[in-house]
Amino acid sequence: MTAHPRPVQEAHPMKIVRTDNARGHSYTDTETDDRVPGVTTILGDGLPKKALINWAGNATADYAIDHWDELSELAPSARLKKLKGGRYESRDEAANRGTQVHKMGERLINGESVVVPDLLRPYVDSYVRFLDEFQLRARHVEALVYSETHRYVGTLDIVGDILLPDMPEYDHLERDEDGFVCDALIDAKTTRSGIFGETALQLAGYRFAEFMQPDPRDPESAFPMPKIAWTGALWIRPNGYSLIPVTAGAEQHRAFLYAQQVGIFDKGARDLIGEAIEPPTASRYVLAKADEEDGR
Write out pLDDT tens, residues 119-132: 889 999 999 999 99
Pairing label, strands 181-189, 230-237: parallel
24, part of any domain: yes
The predicted pLDDT at position 288 comes to 66
Q: How confident is the model at residue 236 (pLDDT cuts 50, 70, 90)?
A: very high
The predicted pLDDT at position 115 comes to 84
154, part of any domain: yes
- CA atoms of 264 and 74, how far apart (whole Å): 42
pLDDT for residue 8 is more than 50: no
Domain extent for 225: 16-47+117-267
- CA atoms of 206 and 38, how far apart (whole Å): 10
- CA atoms of 16 and 20, how far apart (whole Å): 13
128, part of any domain: yes
59, part of any domain: no
Average pLDDT value for residue range 26-37: 93
Q: How confident is the model at residue 1 (pLDDT cuts 50, 70, 90)?
A: very low
- CA atoms of 139 and 176, how far apart (whole Å): 15
CB neighbourhood size of 134 (10 A):
22
- CA atoms of 228 and 183, how far apart (whole Å): 5
Amino acid at 101: V
249, part of any domain: yes
Average pLDDT value for residue range 242-255: 97
Average pLDDT value for residue range 247-262: 97
70, part of any domain: no
pLDDT for residue 58 is more than 70: yes
3, part of any domain: no
pLDDT for residue 238 is more than 50: yes
Tell me the whole-structure pTM to 2 decimals. Answer: 0.81
The number of distinct structural domains making up the chain is 1
pLDDT for residue 200 is more than 70: yes
The predicted pLDDT at position 43 comes to 94
pLDDT for residue 104 is more than 90: no
How open is the CA angle 51-55-57, to the nearest 5 degrees?
125
Question: What residues does 240 pair with on adjacent strands?
Answer: 237
Between 45 and 87, residue with greater pLDDT: 45
What is the DSSP secondary structure assignment for residue 157, as one 8-state letter? S
Task: Provide the angle, in degrees to the nearest 10, between the axes of the packed helices 250-268 and 198-207.
Answer: 100
Q: pLDDT digit string (tens) for 140-191?
A: 999 999 999 999 999 999 999 999 998 998 999 999 999 999 999 999 999 8
89, part of any domain: no
CATH for 187? 3.90.320
